[in-house]
A and B are shown apart, each in its own frame.
Chain A
Amino acid sequence: MLLRFDHVNCIYDPDASEPVHALTDVSLSVGGGEFVGLIGHTGSGKSTLVQHMNGLLRPTSGTVFADDTDIWSDRYDRKALRARVGLVFQYPEHQLFETDVLADVCFGPRNLGRSREDAERDAKEALSMVGIEEALFSQSPFDLSGGQKRRVAIAGVLAMHPEILILDEPTAGLDPRRREEILSLISELHETQHISIVLVSHSMEDVARYADRILVMDNGKVLYDDPPAAVFARHRELAAIGLRAPEAALLLSELSEAGLSGFDTYAVSAEDTAKEILQAMHSPQGVAADREGAV
């Protein structure tokens, strides 16, 4: 499915002394099997934007279309939309409430009217997708470790079989290893289940490795909507809005300023970066930078 925003504005508390203009004229589309990264510093409007994607918030003005239907038109079934557009909130483990893990994951499918057996089947499937063993199914969700809780919470949304999965800062508050695990889990879901992903983060590094496209937000506006390499090429503009391009992209751009030319792309992984540098150094254009060979 495809979600399309058409000139969407969002103002919180329009009557307050200082109304917050959280989204300003946002037009974009997500879905269609893509892996989209949504980046911006804290308060730039990322969470507000994603809550418009499944109809939790209503635009102050503008329209949100799901497959060309206005999701705020009369009689539009937003509950069904929320099943198709799964949204995993920040710190999703704070929403766990059931007595055991399986029952908690069943909450979503049961709300959609599925039978107990169907819901349990969906829940078990989702739990195995996120790597929770059967032995934990009957435990209290509150006895799990932080990383496990978060996986269970993600499973709670996955069990509804969303076509688009939105994750709001899914790695917040996790140690580096758990971070890696969650990120590779998301990328696996994208590849094996063909779910479109919207990954919200304030860290370029997280998003850079997996996203086909990056949306950069600042102060309620979408500044860039481009492939990663094109976004990283603007690392100065990014720095100005408080974002840091990935180290590798910064290294390449500094080398090219120092005179080493001939890079094709802004690579993200360490290996690709090394390859790019070697290739550039051995190409005839790169001669001027021979002295920097030691870098």
Chain B
Amino acid sequence: MAMLKDITLGQYYPADSVIHRLDPRVKVVVTLGFIVSLFVISTIPGYLLAALFLWLWIRLSRVPLRFMLRGMKSVFFLLFMTVVFNLFLTPGETLISWGKLVITKEGVRIASLMAIRLVFLILGSSVMTFTTTPTRLTDALESLMRPLTRLHVPVHEIAMMMSIALRFIPILMEETDKIMKAQMARGADFESGNIIKRAKNLIPLLVPLFISAFRRANDLAMAMEARCYHGSEGRTRMKPLVYARRDRAAYLLLLLYLVLSVVIGRDLLHLSSLFFPGGGV
């Protein structure tokens, strides 16, 4: 079950911190703003600024760094491939070469840029998921996407489906663990054999899992109906989202950060060389 446990990306980490208490909408907007900023900045002072912002964001959340890094493990391969491809496939001034393999100066620059961006992006957005329960997160998305209802997008229904799906992930994981153990108690083996045998060995796990998922879905539908759920119309909230002072302060900080990152983070010359490598303006 070690496999299931390693998925920390998108898991709530309970703690009492400012970031935990922030309005979930603020966290969504800050995360989006931070991601956008990562694609705007291209100078070293700009990255230092982003690093400072990220460091503050993580420290204030009180989520241990090692816990966040555990979530990085699952995307390590992606990161590795990105770096390798950029390192070897960027044309430009040769730095080192082994026969056909050539590392260029631009390659090093872009590879490290991409690596930093990816790591920052994942860490920055995992702060949001670590400090916000899935329910709050979907509440925030529903609230932020509300204008779309004018265009007849079923925002509430989408949000409800999302929150139910998220709610079921840990339940189904627990269920998988339990059924796996129950079948192992009957001598089942999920770890050895070739790929076809292994796939076949999954039947005793998957059949009960599907049955249980359907049973739970049915129960939930019943319970929602019994409590007169009828979609979004006329539905009020038990905990309406209301901005507090710290939320406004956070927005202000974000704005400051974005302005700064445009001012010191942008370098027109390098930025254009990113889009037109080799060309320059």
**A96 adjacent to B188 (CB under 8 Å):** no
**A160 adjacent to B184 (CB under 8 Å):** no
**B189 adjacent to A97 (CB under 8 Å):** no
- A15 proximal to B (CB < 8 A): yes
How would you classify the secondary structure of chain B's contact residues: helix, strand, loop or mixed?
helix
**A79 adjacent to B186 (CB under 8 Å):** no
What A residues does B15 contact at CB under 8 A? Answer: 17
Q: In whole angstroms, what is the CA distance A87 to B188 when docked?
A: 13
Q: In whole angstroms, what is the CA distance A79 to B186 when docked?
A: 9
What B residues does A18 contact at CB under 8 A? Answer: 14
Interface core residue of A17, A88, A95, A108 (most chain B CB under 10 Å): A95
- A263 proximal to B (CB < 8 A): no
Q: Could you tell me which residues of chain B, from 1 to 33, have a CB within 8 Å of some CB in chain A?
A: 5, 13-15
Binary flags per residue of B50-78, CB closer than 8 Å to A gives 1, else 0: 00000000000000101100100000000
Write 30 A-B pairs (CB below 8 A) sorted by A numbering.
A13-B5, A15-B66, A15-B67, A17-B15, A17-B64, A18-B14, A51-B181, A54-B185, A79-B189, A82-B185, A87-B185, A89-B181, A89-B185, A92-B182, A94-B182, A94-B208, A94-B211, A94-B212, A95-B183, A95-B204, A95-B208, A97-B204, A97-B208, A107-B204, A108-B186, A111-B189, A112-B187, A156-B186, A160-B186, A160-B187
**B185 adjacent to A157 (CB under 8 Å):** yes
**A17 adjacent to B14 (CB under 8 Å):** yes
Given A95-B208, A111-B188; 15 other pairs, CB 8 A cutoff: A15-B67, A17-B13, A17-B15, A18-B14, A51-B181, A79-B189, A82-B185, A82-B187, A86-B185, A94-B178, A95-B186, A96-B208, A97-B204, A111-B186, A160-B187
What B residues does A28 contact at CB under 8 A? Answer: none
- A288 proximal to B (CB < 8 A): no
Q: Could you tell me which residues of chain A, from 10 to 68, have a CB within 8 Å of some CB in chain B?
A: 13, 15, 17-18, 51, 54, 56
- A204 proximal to B (CB < 8 A): no
Chain A residues bordering chain B, tally (CB within 8 A): 27
What B residues does A160 contact at CB under 8 A? Answer: 186-187
Q: A15-B67, A15-B70, A95-B179 are in contact. Are A56 and B13 (CB under 8 A)?
A: no
Q: In whole angstroms, what is the CA distance A116 to B204 when docked?
A: 18
Q: A17-B15, A95-B179, A97-B203 are in contact. Are A56 and B185 (CB under 8 A)?
A: yes
Binary flags per residue of B197-219, CB closer than 8 Å to A gives 1, else 0: 00000011001100110000000
**B187 adjacent to A79 (CB under 8 Å):** yes
